[in-house]
Amino acid sequence: MNLLLMLSMIMIIISNILMMISFILSKKSFLDREKCSPFECGFDPKSLARIPFSLHFFLITMIFLIFDVEIALIFPMISTFMMVNFLTWFKVISFFIIILLIGLYHEWNQNMLNWVN
């Protein structure tokens, strides 16, 4: 236990030393006008380069990521089908899918799934 504690303290100290060294040696300037301006092959931009980002696109992306994580959670449940009690497995998978369907219904009810607004 003491060895584990000592090794974790050494790792924390080394990582803090490395972060301090990198902070001291870095030459970043946040006030540089050239770095804050958009880059278009060395030319001045023809129009406003910082166009507003579509919030609807962001929401669709978040919904996709949520369902992607849900699929990643369902795959292990499929592989454990033969290893556990069927009734317990069925209750867990049914509860999980009901929660997913309630979330989908809520998104549909809030018109998050419509592309045109």
Domain of residue 49, residue span: 2-109
pLDDT tens per residue, range 74-106: 888 888 888 889 899 899 889 988 998 898 888
Tokens of 94: 């049914």
For the domain that residue 102 is a member of, what is the CATH number? 1.20.58
Tokens of 51: 């166009």
**Rounded to whole angstroms, how far apart are CA atoms 107 and 64?**
12
- pLDDT at position 55, please? 74
| 96 inside domain | yes
| Most confident of the ranges 10-14, 56-60, 97-101 | 10-14
| 48 has a pLDDT exceeding 70 | no
Query: Could you tell me which residues are beta bridge partners of residue 43?
Result: 40
Nearest in space to 59 (alpha carbons), one of 113, 117, 100: 113
Mean pLDDT (the chain) is: 81
Domain count, the chain: 1
| 95 inside domain | yes
- pLDDT at position 51, please? 67
| 62 inside domain | yes
